[in-house]
């Protein structure tokens, strides 16, 4: 009987102990699971923080690079603009140069032919300019070219009018959608303004005159930009021959016939 009770007590103890161990292990496992979940959550947060930081760094680097790129682009644009101006502008007078004239006259010629609108040219030449150079020197001569150029520019009213320094002391104006009457009036105005202008100079104030040739293209057959220029050149020659300080007109058909 005693042995039965001893056995029963031992069995109860064993069962109790096993159950206790089981509970303890379960709790331990739970604690470990909680701890590792916590550790993984911390690690995840750290990773997110790291990602945020590198994203910010990346964005700021991209911003920096974009800014640098924009500055480089602006500089490039400025250089391009400068190059373009150098290619198309005459350094002394600030008017367009001969190269530009050649391109522009072709474009305006085509436009005039397409739209059936008149296209006029005025060729202006400073009279007896050699004397100015000989009497006052080349630098004063240059100054006179600049003065006449700025006078011509100030008299142009339409944004489509183009003033070029064709060469030396010769200027050519391209006047789109301008008939002979309009071009003649402008040329007379230029002659008068130059005649009235006194160019200040240390030794002696300088008075200049200019001669002008005018021609108007009205889509005459077989005419090219070169023929139009030949014609305006002839008109200028006529003005020089007739005594200078005046305007002469040469219709295109007369040159062709
Ligand atoms: N100072 C200066 N002189 C120039 C320039 N280009 C051309 N010339 C001079 O302009 C003068 C033009 O002389 P010509 O073609 O004989 O004509 P002109 O003396 O004006 O006589 P007309 O045109 O017949 O009235 C020459 O002496 C050229 O050396 C320039 O850029 N600067």
Written in H, E and C, the secondary structure of 184-251 is HHHHHHHHHHHHHCEECCCCCCEECCEEEEEEEECCCCCCCHHHHHHHHHHHHHHHHHCCCCCEEECC
* 133 Cβ below 6 A of ligand 1: yes
Atom of ligand 1 minimally distant from the CA of 141: 1
CA–centroid distance, 69 to ligand 1, in Å, is: 49
Name the pTM for this structure. Answer: 0.74
Tokens linked to 162: 């183009």
DSSP codes, 4-36: HHHHHHHHHHHHHHHHHHHHHHHHHHHHHHHHH
Enzyme catalytic residues = 169
* 225 Cβ below 6 A of ligand 1: no
Reading across the β-sheet that carries 170-176, which strands appear in turn?
162-167, 170-176, 119-126, 210-217, 247-249
> What local confidence, expressed as pLDDT, does residue 256 receive?
47
Atom of ligand 1 minimally distant from the CA of 144: 1
Question: Low-confidence residues of the chain, pLDDT below 70?
Answer: 254-257
Alpha-carbon gap, residue 78 to 72, rounded angstroms: 10
Element (H, E) at 42: helix 2-88
* 244 Cβ below 6 A of ligand 1: yes
> What local confidence, expressed as pLDDT, does residue 6 receive?
85
* 22 Cβ below 6 A of ligand 1: no
195: closest CA among 205, 208, 185?
208
> What local confidence, expressed as pLDDT, does residue 257 receive?
47
């Amino acid at each position: 009987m005693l042995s039965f009770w001893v056995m029963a007590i031992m069995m109860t103890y064993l069962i109790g102990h096993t159950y206790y161990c089981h509970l303890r292990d379960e709790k331990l496992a739970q604690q470990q699971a909680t701890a590792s979940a916590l550790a993984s959550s911390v690690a995840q947060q750290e990773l997110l923080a790291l990602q945020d930081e590198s994203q910010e760094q990346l964005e700021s680097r991209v911003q920096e690079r974009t800014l640098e790129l924009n500055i480089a682009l602006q500089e490039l644009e400025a250089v391009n603009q400068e190059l373009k101006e150098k290619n198309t502008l005459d350094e002394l007078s600030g008017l367009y140069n001969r190269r530009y004239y050649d391109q522009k006259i072709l474009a305006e010629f085509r436009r005039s032919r397409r739209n059936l609108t008149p296209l006029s040219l005025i060729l202006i030449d400073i009279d007896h300019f050699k004397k100015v150079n000989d009497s006052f020197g080349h630098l004063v001569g240059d100054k006179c070219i600049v003065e006449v150029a700025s006078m011509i520019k100030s008299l142009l009213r339409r944004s489509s009018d183009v003033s070029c320094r064709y060469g030396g002391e010769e200027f050519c104006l391209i006047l789109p959608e301008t008939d002979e009457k309009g071009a003649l009036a402008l040329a007379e105005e230029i002659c008068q303004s130059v005649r009235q202008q006194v160019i200040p100079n240390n030794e002696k104030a300088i008075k200049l005159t200019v001669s002008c040739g005018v021609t108007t293209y009205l889509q005459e057959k077989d005419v090219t930009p070169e023929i139009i220029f030949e014609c305006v050149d002839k008109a200028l020659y006529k003005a020089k021959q007739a005594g200078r300080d005046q305007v002469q007109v040469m219709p295109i058909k007369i040159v062709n016939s």
